[in-house]
Amino acid sequence: MEGGAYGAGKAGGAFDPHTLVRQPHTILRVVSWVFSIVVFGSIVNEGYLNTPSEGEEFCIYNRNPNACSYGVAVGVLAFLTCLLYLALDVYFPQISSVKDRKKAVLSDVGVSAFWAFLWFVGFCYLANQWQVSKPKDNPLNEGTDAARAAIAFSFFSIFTWAGQAVLAFQRYQIGADSALFSQETTDLPRCLSFPSSGVRQGPRGSNSQGKGRSFPCLSRGPPRAGLPAGG
């Protein structure tokens, strides 16, 4: 993007919601947000069972309370993380500092990759505990659809968060290249002037040289072998 860095234009522009919702990383955040709701909502609503002979509820995943707790915790924290970075997407074009934009994009890479790992662990954990669950613990098959949904959307969340990490890394690469190019081109001093070849007629018949052209300063390296050092 011309005049911008790290996937956004110059700071101070008007907020454009249409541009925001069409950005791939924003779409993946919304999808991940929905998936996290499905995971922790399924476990909270139907992930705990009880039997007439038992007064206390137990986790549907092999009676392992840690499995249900992990799924709920990861789902809720992922839900909040999505909201945080959606807010950052809205505020990002207003960040005027290139260094601050770089930090925001790098944090997006790290956080998204970390959550992809947590969802991978959660998927393996829940799937394993579901596989070893005993049928006698749930003879009426209550909450089985919700338990499977939590496992399935944990699996889908691996790819949505990994996709966010990849897109953020691409924004970092593009932004870093554009920032470097901008710095290199604007920092070159224009200190060499060469007169133009043409001669124009000045007032009262006097001759004056035309306006010269400026060129960037170039550092002189050591003379090559066989060539005199002077000149």
Give the separation between CA 72 and CA 89, rounded to whole angstroms: 26
Contact 160, 28 (CB under 8 A): yes
154, part of any domain: yes
41, part of any domain: yes
129, part of any domain: yes
214, part of any domain: no
- Whether the CA torsion 161, 163, 167, 173 is positive or negative: it is positive
Give the separation between CA 133 and CA 112, rounded to whole angstroms: 31
Instruction: Note down the domain range covering 97.
Output: 21-176
The answer to whether the pTM exceeds 0.85 is no
CA nearest to 41, candidates 14, 68, 3, 19: 68
223, part of any domain: no
Element (H, E) at 116: helix 98-131
2, part of any domain: no
Element (H, E) at 123: helix 98-131
Residue with tokens 């930090």: 103
Domain tally for the chain? 1
192, part of any domain: no
Give the pLDDT of the chain (231 residues) as one tens digit per residue.
334 566 555 555 556 677 778 889 899 999 999 999 999 999 999 999 887 777 788 999 999 999 999 999 999 999 999 999 999 988 888 877 788 888 999 999 999 999 999 999 999 999 999 999 988 888 788 889 999 999 999 999 999 999 999 999 998 888 755 555 454 444 444 444 445 444 445 455 444 454 455 445 544 445 444 444 444
For residue 52, the model assigns a pLDDT of 72
For residue 192, the model assigns a pLDDT of 47
103, part of any domain: yes
